[in-house]
Amino acid sequence: MSISKLSSVLATSYENFPKGRFITLVVLRTTHSETIFRTEGSGEPMCSEFVQAGLEGENQKNIIQRLVMTKRKQVAPERRYGREHLRAHELLYTNPKDGALCSLNTNAPCEMCADCFLYGFAAGGGGAQKSRIWTEDAFSILPASDVVGDRTINAIYENGTMRDEKGNPSTALNTSEYIKPGVHFLDVVTLKDVTVDELRYIIGNILFTSRYGAVSSRIGRMENEILGVFGSITELPSSLELVQATYDVLGKPLEHPLNINQLITASKRVIANWKNKRGVSVQLSEEELANLLTDVETNWSEVERDNFLKRLTQSYEPFRQVATEKNKGKGKGKGKNTPVEVES
């Protein structure tokens, strides 16, 4: 069984102190609609960086501009996806600050739900938990100039024209950049000291999240595919190294749209060489990876999801009780400082 093969790099239970167990997921992210990755606002260009095209030969000398899917653009939607289900199964807690239900970006996390234990939190004037999901910027295979287009945006009046009933022209006319459908980003996600149920939870968040970037209610459709899973005692090569090595392997010339099957073959050829470097102890085979993903889908299924999420949440109980007692001591006589668990 694939999960038992990872036992040497999986924690048997949550622990406060790290013990040098790393699991690396190699993720291929492919846009299936127009997508926008940029800083907030309008008119800014797509997030991009000038980097070496590859790691060998002429590719090492050539500098190209690659699109960047920043780490925040990856983690935020995936974290929200998991929290949707924690909320649906009443597995979020009230925070000790004001008694409100745990929510993101409010400076008042509950410090007790699965999301807080995994993705971390920093409570103003309170505790902190470092994220155990380590991410970095993902880079496009092809240059930005090949995969970015311009779209003219206008808003017409109800009469179907750009002029109102008084003949005044509409000012809602703008040109915006977008990432084309079929653009591929390669990504390395590192998990630190996670348990088997935490692994299932994280992989589920990655596989089932389908909208990223700006204006995600209308664009930003993306599909994630896990190409490899490794266990080690340290981090593996970065996302940029993976993209550059894959670019070296791919036949030239390259143009958009890139054949996804050729890209997957090239990427797997690159990561096959990781088994004997940088402290790698485990690499799942194709069959073992398929079994792992089936296991994740089974636990996230309609039949098993409630039991799975409650089992994951229950695993933090010893540490949650310690936190509760700590808060009780600090807030003695002030009942409002004591966290309250939402009944499930």
Q: Please state which of the ranges 53-67, 103-117, 293-307 shows the lowest mean pLDDT.
A: 103-117
pLDDT tens sequence across 307-317: 999 999 999 99
Predicted confidence band of residue 108 (pLDDT cuts 50, 70, 90): confident
- Residue 171: pLDDT above 80? no
Please, are residues 242 and 271 in contact by the beta-carbon 8 Å criterion? yes
What distance in Å separates the CA atoms of residue 35 and residue 180, rounded to the nearest whole number?
7
Task: Answer whether 270's CB lies under 8 Å from 276's CB.
Answer: no
Confidence band (pLDDT; 50, 70, 90) for 282? very high
CB-based contacts of 125, cutoff 8 Å, min separation 6:
none
Q: Which amino acid is at 326?
A: K
Q: How many whole angstroms separate alpha carbon 4 and alpha carbon 196?
A: 9
| pLDDT tens column, 132-169 | 999 999 999 999 999 998 876 666 666 666 666 666 76
Q: How confident is the model at residue 343 (pLDDT cuts 50, 70, 90)?
A: very low
Q: What is the pTM of this model?
A: 0.87
Of 142, 194, 263, the C-alpha closest to 25 is 194
Q: Which two tokens stand for residue 255?
A: 């143009």
Give me the DSSP letters along 277-328. STTEEEE--HHHHHHHHHHHHHHTSTTTHHHHHHHHHHTTHHHHHHHHHHHH
Q: Provide CB contacts within 8 A for 321, sequence distance 6+.
A: none
Q: How many residues does the chain have?
A: 344
